[in-house]
Amino acid sequence: MSGPGSVLWGVGCYDDGARRVPWEISHEEIQRAMGAAKTELEQLGIGAGSRVLFCSMLSEAGHFWPLMIGAMLAGAQQSCADANAGEATRVAMFTRLIDFDAVFGVTPALLDGLDELGVTYAEVFGRVRIVGARPGAYERLVEAGLAPHHFVLAGPAVALAREPGGPARADTREWRFDVDGDVVCVTSLRPRATTFERARTAVRGEIVDGGIVPSAWKEQ
Amino acid sequence: MNLPPPDSPYFSPEETMPRERLEELQLELLLDLLPYAYEHAPVIREAWDAAGVTPREIKTLDDFRERVPFVDKDALRRFRDDRGDPFGGLCAIPPAELTAINSTSGTTGDPTLVPEKWGAGGTPAVITRDFWGMGVRPGDHVALVLFTFRGPIYGLFQGLGTVPVLFDFDPSEMARFCELSRRYRPTALYNFGSVLVHAVRDACERFGIDPVDVFSSYKGVVFAGEPLGPRARALAQEWGVQLFEHTSVGDVTAAFECTMHDGLHFWEDTAFVECVEPDGRTPVADGERGELVATTLFNRTAPLVRYRSDDIVRVTRRPCGCGRTHARMWPIGRKGDEVVVQGRSVLPVDLWAAVESIDACAMGLFQVVRSSRETDVLRLRVGYASAWEGKLDVVADEVRGAVEGATGLVPEVELVPDARLLRLGPPHKIPRVARR
């Protein structure tokens, strides 16, 4: 979707570990990300007939919109919920009524909400083939006996594991990860409205084969 | 999207269409949609069959008003549960053709699924007309303070050539909102609420920011979900904010105030809207209080027909000073939220100003707690700010006094932290009635 006469798609936001940083995003980079997301999701087996639930906040739309359109381009149907505790009811309703192939973006706050509702993680996510869980949620789902994929917003980049427990990978034409101590840093490799050069993120972990294996989660 | 000249007060010519032509258009669109809805949406067909009506019998708007049966949210939930149809019998296209499945807010119970087909075309630019009318133009920044469960609403703003600045609907976002408002100077904010107004005030106090400066570029600030209480409204006015109320129209279309601030316009080329007696089917007179009933004129994915919204409103089709010919409405409350205490009708709107007038309860978060519609005692669950933790006896006395002053009823009051009530929300509104 491109707007008449506007170079910027929007102003999103990412977490650098110390604060929430505004992030100007161009239409062009969104277009590139949509294509990459389609390919990545197809490699995960998502296509015609698949249903995908995205759990995100509006300030994360710059991260999630390409995934949503990528899913649509791959032929999948999508649903949306906020990624906070109050939306646990909606997420539980969705997975009760619809057979989802994948749920991406599960947060610790969402799991807190499920705890308050008194439903188990297995009841909500047990039938979902791919559960993409963010740091902090991932460990809790593993402890509950599920096999989630790492799903990481590393600054402005979205990284997703191709198998349970595997490193979360982003588009290597767009992003390069490294670490400063155990803080994951991100560098942008192609022209963007906002350039990133070893920008610190809120994610701690190590880089394995170019992808991120989060080691801990920092409470915001 | 073809844009009008920047100095045009209207986005599209349909906004000022003569009423006679508008009603001809509505009939034309209805007669096209009704056979389709009957044929493809099982819950609509079930309701019509039960009423012994077929689309062939509907030839005029009067036929429609007199003969077509109503459906409501309970009918959709019942169809869903009885038939195992997640869409409550409303999905009118093969499910495989859907691009998205989203959901209603869930304020009145379990959210219901909303089947969607993006890119289906033919949808009038509803929100676009309203923001254009406020003065928003291509190239502007627009602050979006929203949730995601309705899907990617930001696309409408990008389609208008504006740049969305994206925030979560969360009080903790308001410091960032103040900072970025001063950096990008947006011309509109969608969407505000009492809780966020107070959070902006707190952020400005904490960081020494002038709220008048924060809002100096805004031509319109839209609030929705719930009424803005007098305290929050007074703050906004102090900051020089021009507020525009906005509401959903029976999950079929949307309504916004225009610059006249005399009711909320809904676009009658998108929906056929009626206002009927809350417990009956008789239309109420123009401007009288009734239940809003809405029928889509364009949605062929989930075609709601004569959908009783549970919303109590006033509707008028008298001309508006802005020049638009489309009807206006005034939201009053939800039919299901009424409680009758000792024979006296009380709606949440009757309590709002009283609760909000107490400093500890300035966010206006409260629920009426009841086991049935009629009760002997008005029971309230009221939110308080954490700073008042040690003075709750005083706060409860103040709430009792204020509510008695407003309603003549002395309530039983349960005080809970604001945060506990906020978590009940979708989050732009919370359920105002809770079961005991």
**Res B434 pLDDT > 70:** yes
Residue B212 at interface with chain A, using a CB cutoff of 8 Å: no
Contact between B168 and A58 using a beta-carbon 8 Å cutoff: yes
Task: Give B168's contacts in chain A (Cβ within 8 Å).
Answer: 57-59, 82
Give percent of chain B above pLDDT 90: 73
Residue A216: Cβ within 10 Å count: 11
Residue B422 at interface with chain A, using a CB cutoff of 8 Å: yes
Q: What is the DSSP string of B50-92?
A: HHT--GGG--SHHHHHHHPPPEEHHHHHHHHHHHT-TTTT---
Contact between A90 and B165 using a beta-carbon 8 Å cutoff: no
Contact A196, A188 (CB under 8 A): yes
Averaged pLDDT for residues B25-36: 97
Distance (Å, rounded) from C-alpha A187 to C-alpha B331? 50
**Res A98 pLDDT > 70:** yes
Cα-to-chain-centroid distance, residue B346:
21
Contact between B166 and A13 using a beta-carbon 8 Å cutoff: yes
**Res A30 pLDDT > 90:** yes
Helix (H, G, I), strand (E, B) or coil at B364: coil
Q: Which residue has the tokens 């409260």?
A: B366
Averaged pLDDT for residues B359-382: 91
Distance (Å, rounded) from C-alpha A182 to C-alpha B340? 61
> Considering only alpha carbons, which residue of chain B is nearest residue A82?
B148
Contact between A6 and B139 using a beta-carbon 8 Å cutoff: yes
Residue A18 at interface with chain B, using a CB cutoff of 8 Å: no
Confidence of residue A7 (pLDDT cuts 50, 70, 90): confident
Contact B223, B196 (CB under 8 A): no
Contact between B158 and A77 using a beta-carbon 8 Å cutoff: no
Averaged pLDDT for residues B89-98: 95
Rg (Cα) of chain A, in Å, rounded? 16
Residue A129 at interface with chain B, using a CB cutoff of 8 Å: no
Q: What is the enclosing helix (H) or strand (E) of B183?
A: helix B174-184
Contact B255, B264 (CB under 8 A): yes
Task: Give A72's contacts in chain B (Cβ within 8 Å).
Answer: 99-100, 118
What's the confidence (pLDDT) of residue A219? 43
Residue A117 at interface with chain B, using a CB cutoff of 8 Å: no
Contact between B98 and A77 using a beta-carbon 8 Å cutoff: yes
Task: Give A107's contacts in chain B (Cβ within 8 Å).
Answer: none
> Considering only alpha carbons, which residue of chain A is nearest residue B99?
A77
**Res B427 pLDDT > 70:** no
Token code pair at residue B176: 């960032």
Distance (Å, rounded) from C-alpha B324 to C-alpha B21? 13
> Considering only alpha carbons, which residue of chain A is nearest residue B140?
A6
Measured over the CA atoms of residue B413, residue B419, residue B422 and residue B424, the dihedral's sign is negative
Contact between A58 and B166 using a beta-carbon 8 Å cutoff: yes
Going by C-alpha positions, the residue among A86, A57, A37, A206 that lies closest to residue B111 is A86
Give chain A's end-to-end CA distance (angstroms, integer): 32
**Res A54 pLDDT > 60:** yes
Contact B373, B346 (CB under 8 A): no
Cα-to-chain-centroid distance, residue B369:
23
What's the confidence (pLDDT) of residue B194? 87
Residue B93 at interface with chain A, using a CB cutoff of 8 Å: no
Of A5, A72, A82, the CB nearest to B149: A82
Averaged pLDDT for residues A135-140: 96
Q: What is the enclosing helix (H) or strand (E) of B375?
A: strand B374-375
Using the CB atoms, write b or e for A160-190: b if 16+ within 10 Å.
bbeebeebbbbbeebbbbebeeebbbbbbee
Distance (Å, rounded) from C-alpha B330 to C-alpha B312? 9
**Res A110 pLDDT > 70:** yes
pLDDT, tens only, B123-158: 667 889 999 999 999 999 999 999 887 777 888 888
Task: Give B162's contacts in chain A (Cβ within 8 Å).
Answer: 3, 6
Measured in angstroms, the CA of A16 and the nearest CA of chain B are apart by: 14
pLDDT, tens only, A164-178: 999 999 999 999 999
Task: Give B155's contacts in chain A (Cβ within 8 Å).
Answer: 1
Q: Which residue has the higher pLDDT, A161 or B347?
A: A161
Task: Give B145's contacts in chain A (Cβ within 8 Å).
Answer: 58
**Res B32 pLDDT > 70:** yes
* Chain A stretch 143-202, residues whose beta carbon is closer than 8 A to a beta carbon of chain B: none
Helix (H, G, I), strand (E, B) or coil at B317: coil
pLDDT, tens only, B242-280: 999 999 998 899 999 999 999 999 999 999 999 999 889
Distances (CA, A) of B169 to A112, A148, B128, B343, B407: 19, 28, 21, 38, 32
Task: Give A89's contacts in chain B (Cβ within 8 Å).
Answer: 106, 110-111
Residue B57: Cβ within 10 Å count: 13
Cα-to-chain-centroid distance, residue B295:
16
Q: Which of the given ranges, A3-7, A16-20, A214-218, has the highest pLDDT on average?
A: A16-20
Measured in angstroms, the CA of B147 and the nearest CA of chain A are apart by: 6
Helix (H, G, I), strand (E, B) or coil at B286: coil
Going by C-alpha positions, the residue among B432, B365, B428 that lies closest to residue B148 is B428
Residue A73 at interface with chain B, using a CB cutoff of 8 Å: no
Contact between A87 and B149 using a beta-carbon 8 Å cutoff: yes
* Chain B stretch 128-167, residues whose beta carbon is closer than 8 A to a beta carbon of chain A: 138-139, 141, 144-152, 154-155, 158-167
Distance (Å, rounded) from C-alpha B369 to C-alpha A10? 42
Distance (Å, rounded) from C-alpha A111 to C-alpha A96? 16
Going by C-alpha positions, the residue among B58, B432, B10, B59 that lies closest to residue B258 is B10
For an interface test with B, the pick among A1, A14, A58 (most B C-beta atoms closer than 10 Å) comes out as A58
Q: Are strands B141-146 and B188-192 parallel, antiparallel or unpaired?
A: parallel
Averaged pLDDT for residues B20-41: 97
Q: Which residue has the higher pLDDT, B402 or B431?
A: B402
Q: What is the DSSP string of B211-272?
A: HHHHTTT-SEEEEESSPPPHHHHHHHHHTT--EEEEEEETTTEEEEE-TT-SSEEE-TTTEE
Confidence of residue B337 (pLDDT cuts 50, 70, 90): confident
Of A10, A65, A85, the CB nearest to B165: A10
Token code pair at residue A200: 């610190």
What's the confidence (pLDDT) of residue B436? 77
pLDDT, tens only, B278-324: 889 999 999 999 999 999 999 999 999 999 999 999 999 999 999 99
Contact B247, B333 (CB under 8 A): no
Of A22, A78, A93, the CB nearest to B111: A93
What's the confidence (pLDDT) of residue A216? 56
**Phi, psi torsion values for B98, nearest 5 degrees:** -70, 145
> Considering only alpha carbons, which residue of chain A is nearest residue B430?
A86
Residue A90 at interface with chain B, using a CB cutoff of 8 Å: yes
**What number of C-beta contacts closer than 8 Å exist between A and B?**
140
Contact between B158 and A78 using a beta-carbon 8 Å cutoff: no
Measured over the CA atoms of residue A45, residue A48, residue A49 and residue A52, the dihedral's sign is positive
Task: Give B170's contacts in chain A (Cβ within 8 Å).
Answer: 57, 84
What's the confidence (pLDDT) of residue B229? 83
Confidence of residue A218 (pLDDT cuts 50, 70, 90): very low
For an interface test with B, the pick among A23, A56, A63, A80 (most B C-beta atoms closer than 10 Å) comes out as A80
Of A11, A86, A93, the CB nearest to B163: A11
Contact between A5 and B161 using a beta-carbon 8 Å cutoff: yes
Token code pair at residue A28: 């062009």
pTM across the whole model = 0.91
Contact B247, B331 (CB under 8 A): yes
Q: At what angle do helices A61-73 and A27-43 cross, to 10 degrees?
A: 50
Residue A98 at interface with chain B, using a CB cutoff of 8 Å: yes
Give percent of chain A above pLDDT 90: 92
What's the confidence (pLDDT) of residue A92? 95
* Chain B stretch 6-45, residues whose beta carbon is closer than 8 A to a beta carbon of chain A: none
Averaged pLDDT for residues B166-172: 93
pLDDT, tens only, A37-49: 999 999 999 999 9
Alpha-carbon dihedral angle through residues A204, A205, A211, A213, given to the nearest 10 degrees:
-120
Q: What is the DSSP string of chain A?
A: ---TT-SEEEEEEEE-SSSEEEEEEEHHHHHHHHHHHHHHHHHTT--TT-EEEEE--GGGHHHHHHHHHHHHHTT-EEEEE-SSGGGHHHHHHHHHHS--SEEEEE-HHHHHHHHHHT--HHHHHTT-SEEEE-TTHHHHHHHTT--PEEEEEETTEEEEESSTTSPEE--TTTEEEEEETTEEEEEE-S--SS--SSEEEEEEEEEETTEEEEEE----
Phi-psi group of A8: left, alpha or beta (phi > 0 → left; psi -120 to 50 → alpha; rest → beta): beta
